[in-house]
Chain A
Amino acid sequence: MSIFVDESTRVVYQGLTGSQGRYYGLLNRDYGTQVVAGTNPRKAGTDVDGVPIFATVADAAAATGATVSCVFIPAPGVPGAVLEAAEAGMELVVVITEGVPAHDEAFLFNKLRRDHPDVRLLGPNCPGIISPGKCNIGITAGHIAEPGGPVGIVSRSGTLTYQALYELKQQQIGVTTCVGIGGDPVPGTTFVDCLAAFEADPETRAVMMIGEIGGSAEEEAADFIAGHMTKPVVAYVAGVTAPPGKKMGHAGAIVSGGKGTAAAKMEALTSAGARVGQNPTEAGELMVEIVASL
């Protein structure tokens, strides 16, 4: 099994007619993803390499049965696009677009939680989600992922995720699902959401999580691991030696209270029972060890 998306997932691409949307949308289709529709209010009735274009997500859903949307709309249009997808009943909205203002992200998160609590937002500014061999939504190179299991991956960083997929594939270790949650200030889906889904997925038997400095998502993940995870977790946190960001005011220091550094995150994860690698390669080796012992 896999989490959030599989071979039966039908996807509509908002922005399929743009250059990025077209490029990755068609790559996703080549991978085997059911790319059933695109939207563009000015191009309804046309198609992109055979994929029909509709004026709205609602039209696309009615005609094709799409339940997941992937957004390649430029940043200014992202809030509107996400709300349109939510109102059209999408279960999952994957936003690849980078450069979305933090205030828009905070607004979207709370708006969805209040008015569309069943809609899952992934991103913005994320590489997307892939259940290898079944469905690939976003900009991950599908061929670097080994289908199957037993590993689930959740990551805040794009390239480090690809590297993790690739290293596991070299060892012929399969991946159930790999979720790129993105590194923006208010991601729609968090480590904890993904850890919970992996814990519930019978085919996932170990989880690799890749974090970064900043925020407290890794600390929250650590709390969840300590309290709710029975499956082994391997973690890596990038930015151990990053210089502390320039601080203008006092608010940051008053709020963070020591959280947010890579060291604090690694410590929290270690004491929660996760195995923490000092670099991506070491994390990969730890996962190989764990998989061998499953």
Chain B
Amino acid sequence: MDLFEHQGKELFARYGLPVPTGEVAFSPDDAVAAASRLGLPVVVKAQVHTGGRGKAGGVKLAADLDAVRSHAAGILGLDISGHIVRRLWIEQASDIAEEYYASFTLDRSARKHLGMLSAEGGVDIETVAARDPDAIARIHIDPVNGLTQPACRQWVQAARIPGSVADVVADVLVTLYGAYVDADADLVEVNPLIVTSSEDVVLLDSKVTLDANSAFRHDDYAQYDATQTRDEREQAAHAKRLQYVGLDGSVGVIANGAGLAMSTVDVVNQVGGSPANFLDIGGGANAEVMAGALEVINNDPAVRAILINIFGGITRGEEIANGIIEATRRVDIDSPIVIRLDGTNAAEGRELLEPHLGGALMMEPTMLDAARRAVELAGAANGQVQP
């Protein structure tokens, strides 16, 4: 779950970390009003769930209110790597002397937390990482012991942070690590972490991703969940608690289990089609869930054919077949459906489906056959000839 920059900064502030003062704005008028309260100069910043905003023209310094208005008008509606700007953050401008880079994330291979720190922060950090990996000091942190002061000091030194601010930076990093752990973040990244000309250390940007699995111990997660960017289909699926990712093809995919769903998407591609989505309905595959899944897919105007790929384990073929039959009764489906049903009691399940076949409901014995058929149907509906 991704946070907007301002949400991340508000989170940082709760841990006593130094962040600039600012306000959220949804229109140029809002922005001007915010700027007059904050005092000039301000920076007008696009709030989107992606980085590289500065390079895309989504971060602009404004010395007067006219500039605030015109920057706000220019940035609202801007497309930054597929994210449309709908919200701004207006904050007091800082007087930057140095830009550092700092982040904490989980290193899955090391099974430890990883801190990365560089004295060469700012918008070009990935170039720095590629050109001179040594410019980024890394520290692996054992979650049992945490980040100790002495270890942090060494790390700061290794990153070639100047001695005059080293202690302050180390304190900030220890607190930031505490926030990362306490908030159950997958990522906290501060780029830039700045030193001002009066040698104050300030967190000037925030990228925070939280682990949705830990929502049960965080009351504030609901508010972030409400501001996630999802397209209409994803929103509908989210409301039904389905594991759905929107893609841009024409074959709607429903499978049980994330691995099988991913594999189904792969196979649709391999036989020359393009999947409209990834959708995992989990182990149960009952009528309720199946109907919800079909509804979401059916509402996607790009879908021309639907592929249901179910493998029965503990859930038996008959239950799955009944779920599909019941679901197709409840939802008025526009596209043809190809079913592949295998696994426990597959034969019994197929027998139940048999009388319903013909017309828009079809069945194929294997995953590959079913994918081929669905892709063919989608192509025919598009008026294309499939290979």
Contact = CB atoms under 8 A, between A and B. Distances in A.
Interface string A108-149: 011100100000000000000000000000011101100000
A140 B111 CA distance: 27
B281 to A, nearest CB: 11
A101 interface: yes
B364 to A, nearest CB: 13
A46 B207 CA distance: 51
A239 B262 contact: yes
A75 B216 CA distance: 9
A103 B214 contact: yes
Contact of B191 (A104, A212, A249, A280): A249
Nearest to A242: B262
A141 B343 CA distance: 10
A139 B106 CA distance: 29
Contacts, number: 191
A279 interface: yes
A238 B266 contact: yes
Nearest to B229: A246
B142 interface: yes
A159 B114 CA distance: 32
Interface stretch (A7-15, A57-65, A199-207, A250-258): A250-258
A99 B49 CA distance: 23
A27 B314 contact: yes
Interface of B: 2, 49-51, 101, 103, 105-109, 111-114, 116, 125-126, 129, 136, 142-144, 181, 184, 186-187, 189, 191, 207-209, 211, 213-214, 216-217, 245, 247, 255-260, 262-263, 265-267, 269-270, 275, 278, 283, 311-314, 342-344, 366-368
Given A248-B189, A248-B208, A252-B105, 4 more contacts: A103-B143, A158-B258, A186-B108, A243-B245
Interface of A: 24, 27, 75-76, 99-104, 106-107, 109-111, 114, 139-141, 143-144, 155-163, 166, 183, 185-186, 210, 212-217, 220, 236, 238-243, 246-255, 262, 278-281
17 contacts: A102-B184, A106-B113, A107-B143, A110-B143, A139-B283, A159-B259, A166-B343, A217-B108, A220-B109, A238-B260, A238-B263, A239-B263, A247-B50, A247-B51, A255-B116, A279-B368, A281-B368
